[in-house]
Amino acid sequence: MPILRFDGVAKSLPYGFWLRHKPVLHDVSLSVEPGEIYGFLGPNGAGKTTSMKCLLGLLTPDRGTIEIFGRNGSEPAARQKLGYLPEQPYFYPHLTGRELVDYFGRLFGVPRATRLQRTAVLLERVGMAASADLPIKQYSKGMLQRIGLAQALINDPELVILDEPMSGLDPIGRREIKDIILELKEKGTTVFFSSHILGDAEVLCDRVGLLFEGRILTESSVQGLLEERVQYWDAACEGVPDNALNGFVHRTQQGGCLHFRFDDVAQLDRWVDAVREVGGRIVQVAPHRVTLEEHFRCNSAGSAARRGASLFVETPAPLRANRRRPADRSRRLPKRHER
């Protein structure tokens, strides 16, 4: 049974003087299984924070349901085993770091002795033991993020929701947060985190959900997503007689090496056979995968194109032609409820 489930969640929010409603989430369906690290990815403004607010009961969805541990997400009791790190943590400036963590522990009903002990351990773990007794108003952004993480773990949660946990951190801070996330996974804790930094997700996540303009575009394992998306193959060979491979369009010649680029594996197979036939030597065959970053850009560009706008810088023609393909494929992916 999924530990967290969004089913057709839609939400519109008021804007402007007349408070007209603008849809932010159209149809968000996803599920997070126990013990996995789930990356909730999307560019700025995709609706990640709005989805998280719906999940935490801060916003009431217009349609759809959210279940946490099999309970309706709007029930406060459903959040007993949940830890949450808000985006750009906003905490009471009048409290010290230690007081804040202790306060949130009390809200979870953690007994005093356990609270004190856990607070000390967590402050140590996030590297805040030395600054724990300073008022929060004196904290830097990185310190806020660390204290935020400590408070998110005070109830020994089974599900941790992290909203942009690595934004605004230096490389060392990012590394430490990543280590903590991986440690949580080792302990069997489920982690659901949002990010627009796709590199982090590629390293950390078991599965990702890609949110774009309030809709989930794809939900799959990171590995699956990467394997699916071999964009083209780069191949090179040498020792081939002149005109032997005329049937293939070669891109460049470097020294005695001929470089080729193939869009599909069948074409590559034919090329391999041809090289062997003429007694040539294959020097390189390398698949070029679409990174999540490129995947995003494809979807963004595809969507922008539909609106008749151009969001991104022009890319060279052959690459652009190739890049459209994964975008089209992902748009064809069935939505969850259609599967």
Partner 1 sequence: MIDRVTAIAVNTFREAIRDRILVLFMAFALLMMASSTILSLLTVGSELKIVTDLGLAALALFGTVIAIFIGIILVHKEVEKRTIYAVLAKPVPRWQFLVGKYFGLMMTLAVVVGLMALFYLALVWWKSGSFPSHLLPAVMLSYVELSIITSVALVFSSFTTPMLAALFTVAVYVVGHLSWAFSTLLDFVPGTVARILVGTLYYTLPDLETFNVRSRVVHELPVSGGYLLDALGYAAAYTIGMLVLAALLFRRRDLT
What is the Cα–Cα distance from 218 to 328, expressed in whole angstroms?
12
Which stretch in 70-78, 174-182, 186-194, 214-222 sits in contact with partner 1 by CB under 8 A?
70-78
- What type of residue is 54? C
Report d(CA 19, CA 158) in Å as an integer.
38
Quick note: the x/- pattern for partner 1 over 105-124, rule CB under 8 A, is: -xxxx---------------
Q: Which stretch binds partner 1 (CB under 8 A): 93-101, 285-293, 316-324, 330-338?
A: 93-101
Q: Which stretch binds partner 1 (CB under 8 A): 36-44, 80-88, 195-203, 235-243?
A: 80-88
Q: What is the phi-psi region of residue 148: left when phi exceeds 0, alpha when psi lies from -120 to 50, beta otherwise?
A: alpha
CB–CB of 80/87 below 8 Å?
no
Helix, strand, coil percent values for the chain (each to nearest 5): 40, 30, 35
Interface of this chain with partner 1, residues 124 to 153, rule: CB under 8 A = 148, 151
16 touches partner 1 by CB under 8 A: no
Determine the number of helices (DSSP H) and then strands (DSSP E) in the chain: 10, 14
Question: What's the token pair of residue 108?
Answer: 């979870």
57 touching partner 1, by CB under 8 A? yes
Site for partner 1 contains 94 (CB under 8 A): yes
What is the rounded CA–CA span in Å between residue 282 and residue 274?
A: 11
Q: Are 74 and 60 in contact (CB under 8 A)?
A: yes
- Give whichever of 155 and 300 is closer to partner 1, judged by the CB atom: 155
Q: Collect all residues with Cβ–Cβ distance below 8 Å to 41 and sequence separation of at least 6.
A: 48, 194, 195, 196, 198, 201, 208, 209, 210, 211, 292, 296
Which C-beta is closer to partner 1: that of 79 or that of 207? Answer: 79
Question: For partner 1, which is the closer residue by CB, 106 or 251?
Answer: 106
Smallest CA-to-CA distance from 329 within 225, 242, 197, 208 is with 225
Query: Which of 6, 38, 40, 91 touches partner 1 by CB under 8 A?
Result: 91
Using CB under 8 A as the binding rule, whether residue 167 contacts partner 1 is answered as no
How far apart are CB 61 and partner 1 at their closest, in Å? 10
Which position among 20, 22, 45, 60 is part of the footprint of partner 1 (CB under 8 A)?
Answer: 60
Q: By CB under 8 A, tell whether 58 contacts partner 1.
A: yes
Q: Verify binding: residue 59, partner 1, rule CB under 8 A.
A: yes
Q: Which is nearer to partner 1, 56 or 210 (CB)?
A: 56
Exactly one of 47, 73, 89, 173 binds partner 1 (CB under 8 A); which one? 89
Q: Cβ closer to partner 1: 58 or 265?
A: 58
Residue whose tokens read 């990702």:
208
Q: Nearest distance from residue 86's CB to partner 1, in Å?
A: 5
Closest distance to partner 1 from the beta carbon of 58 (Å): 4
Which CB, 103 or 239, lies closer to partner 1?
A: 103
Residue 317 makes CB contacts below 8 A (sequence gap 6+) with none
Give the angle 36-329-42 at the CA atoms, nearest 5°.
Answer: 45
Residues that bind partner 1 (CB under 8 A): 13-14, 53, 56-60, 76-80, 82, 84, 86, 89-92, 94-95, 99, 103-104, 106-109, 148, 151, 155, 161
